[in-house]
Structure 1
Amino acid sequence: MADIRPLRIGIVAGEASGDVLGAGLIKSLKSLHPNCEIVGIGGQHLIEQGIDSLVDINELSVMGLLEVVKHLPRLLRIRKMVIDYFTDNPPDVFIGVDAPDFNLPVAKKLKARGIKTVHYVSPTVWAWREGRIHKIAAATNLVLGIFPFEQPIYDKYSVPYQYVGHTLADSIPLKVDRESARANLSISTDAHVLAILPGSRAKEIASMLPVFLQTADLYKQHVDGLHVVIPAANQARLQQIEALLDELKPAVKILLSSEPARTLMIAADAVLLTSGTASLEAMLCKRPMVVAYRMSALTYIIMQRLYKPDYFALPNILAEQALVPELLQEQVNPENLCHHLLEQLERDQDLLMHAYREQHKSLQQNADEQAAKAVLVLINADEA
């Protein structure tokens, strides 16, 4: 008979994408070992899986070197609280989901106190600051990776690593149903739909949404029957976007929705988005896209010196070629974005969809179950 002793799982997800990954792992973990207590920091998806969240996940959603510095005192207070909590209430395993600048120092302290630690989503040591691999090794018993190109660097340094694939690739079918997505949003089949994804963080939305709306106004001049749809990651982002729409008063009609972002992307003819996990999801939804990002001038200067890959959009990194346009800094203006969107509509869609499907297949590894099994193996390693 399987061991049914209760398991205490500590988990911290720092942002929306990590919340999805963490929730998938926990759901599979509970199916394999039903008696689990989940404590840490998570958003809506982890809360649905029963996490007792110590603070609101939005407290950790900070990106960019200058932005992190600005919020550092608050982040340090939360980090100390998390370390103290798990030191006083030791879990069977601590799982940090992404957010390495927050999670790895927590994991290092807990590992030093005899608590097993897992980091889910490899830090981008393959892209910049390869030397971080030594800090990862010191902080973790196991790294769970979501991309197939990460394995060699972990093998190079003999750091325990397991590629599990990406939960989004498992949850989105290879062939998506646009008609059903449009019906769900009450959008006609003959409309031209542009999905705008300005980001899941407040600062991203404040930076990217105005230029995206200006782009949509230009785009409207070139396509008939335009519908613009925007997903909101949570209630706070919904209110922020509503306030910006009221302030900016775009000429295009906007459908702001709390439906999952993938529903809006599947319904779309094209997607304009802020770089991040959304670009991966748009690829899995098989949609032409334009990927954009703007950061502080200082962050950009530093990244220019340190960043190694030729691309920053995930579809391009995975394919090792420019599958989709990616625009940075001063390139991110309405005229340029509109031009690239129109260009994407005119390209050979069959070739693009074939490339998307190949990347999709490579990421389909039953990630939630693979990750959960790896965590259980680690927990039970000393009990065999």
Structure 2
Amino acid sequence: MRVGIVAGEMSGDYLGAGLMRELRRLYPEARFEGIGGRRMEAEGMASLYPLEALSVMGLVEVLRHLPKLLLIRRDLVRRFRRNPPDVFIGIDAPDFNLRLEQRLREAGVPTVHYVSPTVWAWRQGRIRQIARAVDRMLCIFPFEREFFRDHQVPARFVGHPLADEVSMVPDQRAARAELGLPEEVPLVAVLPGSRMSEVRHLGPAFLETVAWLHRHRPDAHFVVPCATDRIAAHLRDLVAAYNEGMHVTLVDGRARDCLAAANAALLASGTASLEAMLHKCPMVVAYKVSTVTGWLARRLIRVPHFAMPNLIAQRRLVAEFAQEAAIPGNLGPAVLDLLDNPDQRTALVAEFEQLHRELRQDASLQAAAAVAELLQEAGHRPANNNEVAG
């Protein structure tokens, strides 16, 4: 059995490797080809192009690489139509994969898309293309399944792999020891982003907030994970500019350890807010982009919240501030309230535990079972049909 599979970035390589491992358990003879990274190659993937060829972010960068991306997609369409796989799986990267999936589905290849595009939040017109492109949509958040079913797209909630990976009960003491941080002090994790563009927008406001918090809680300590050396240098300069005797520790990466160690977090929206939730770390979330991008976002985005815990819960659990509201005068009091109000922290942790359990579904196993169901419809039965999860 042949499986075509394309991951568009490192997170997709991680998801793809877990999915491949579970599919091979069901179909020991399975062969995989397409595009993947080191993890997928370690599982036996024959990668036709390096993963980095698709890992392009930002409008200008995409436009510069567009001719190459189109050539790669045309080549994959030709290869897979000439020698069709038994199923094709696109992992995330919707701008690349959905068109590829549509072309292959038109040629009779069953198609799966793993990780829903944020069509429920903006550009909802894409749902028509998704309906033409995929036989199964594999959703990592529960609310996505209902959205797709409402639009007659077959969808299955498989859970979030991070929820499987992160312990239900974080060890705060061990995390602080690992980072060399004091055990008993109030600790705030500060995560202004993993990309330089995010850090440039949020870094100054976050460091001003740290200074504000230091004036109101001089005993508080702050830990800042830095995704890259360049970001670390930029944040080091900001800390020096705002330093008023603050206890600030910069850490090389290790964002998850910082969240596990902290009593509260101040962070940029995105995956960091999901990771904070899984580590049971109460948080304040901020979103800040250029004025033009913010103006467009307000007109295009159709969800009432942007922090992941709020989206998953479908209600406001954590404080979130966007654009001109993401200022120290709002961020500081919200973080201080988390530090000073243990009852609020306890209530949030209980909510986070419930959401964690909801997302903890053994995602790789569930995704493989969904692919196996589609393959069975085409006559490919697993080696052990009893192992297919419901």
Structure 1-normalised TM-score? 0.85
Which deviations, in whole Å up to 9, do the C-alpha atoms of 1:15-39 show, x marking residues without a partner?
A: x544443343233334444555544
- Structure 2 residues without counterparts, runs of 5 or longer: 381-390
Distance 1:127 1:146 in 2: 15
Distance 1:100 1:59, change over 3 A: closer
Assess if the C-alpha contact under 8 Å between 1:273 and 1:292 holds in 2.
yes
* Partner residue, 2:291: 297
Superposition pairs for residues 361-380 of structure 1, below 5 Å? 361-380=357-376
The structural deviation recorded for 1:126 is 2.5
- Structure 1 residues without counterparts, runs of 5 or longer: 233-237
Identity %: 40
Distance 2:127 2:55 in 1: 23
* Partner residue, 2:146: 152
For 2:97, what is the secondary structure of its paired residue?
helix
Which deviations, in whole Å up to 9, do the C-alpha atoms of 1:120-143 show, x marking residues without a partner?
A: 122223223333211101111210
Code of the aligned partner of 1:218: W
Assess if the C-alpha contact under 8 Å between 1:10 and 1:91 holds in 2.
no
Distance 1:28 1:272, change over 3 A: farther
The structural deviation recorded for 1:74 is 0.9
Superposition pairs for residues 77-156 of structure 1, below 5 Å? 77-85=68-76, 87-88=78-79, 91-156=85-150
Deviation >6 Å, runs of 4+: none
Assess if the C-alpha contact under 8 Å between 1:9 and 1:36 holds in 2.
no
Distance 1:71 1:202, change over 3 A: farther
Which deviations, in whole Å up to 9, do the C-alpha atoms of 1:210-243 show, x marking residues without a partner?
A: 43233333333324151413152xxxxx122133
Which deviations, in whole Å up to 9, do the C-alpha atoms of 1:102-155 show, x marking residues without a partner?
A: 321232233334433211122223223333211101111210011222223322
Distance 2:253 2:130 in 1: 36
Distance 1:380 1:296, change over 3 A: farther
Distance 1:99 1:383, change over 3 A: same
Match of 2:253 among 245, 250, 258: 258
Distance 2:372 2:288 in 1: 40
* Partner residue, 2:195: 201
Distance 1:337 1:104 in 2: 39
- Kindly indicate whether residue 319 of structure 2 is the aligned counterpart of residue 328 of structure 1: no
Code of the aligned partner of 1:242: A
The structural deviation recorded for 1:349 is 1.8
The structural deviation recorded for 1:58 is 8.3
Which deviations, in whole Å up to 9, do the C-alpha atoms of 1:328-378 show, x marking residues without a partner?
A: 111222343222211222332221112112212222222110001212332
Assess if the C-alpha contact under 8 Å between 1:11 and 1:38 holds in 2.
no
* Partner residue, 2:385: none
* Partner residue, 2:388: none
Code of the aligned partner of 1:78: L
After TM superposition, the structure 1 stretch with the greater mean CA deviation from structure 2, 365-374 or 85-94, is 85-94
* Partner residue, 1:10: 5
* Partner residue, 1:243: 233
For 1:196, what is the secondary structure of its paired residue?
strand
* Partner residue, 1:235: none
Distance 1:38 1:290, change over 3 A: farther
For 1:54, what is the secondary structure of its paired residue?
strand
Assess if the C-alpha contact under 8 Å between 2:186 and 2:339 holds in 1.
no
Distance 1:13 1:219, change over 3 A: farther
- Kindly indicate whether residue 53 of structure 2 is the aligned counterpart of residue 71 of structure 1: no
State the number of aligned residues: 368
Distance 1:61 1:81, change over 3 A: closer
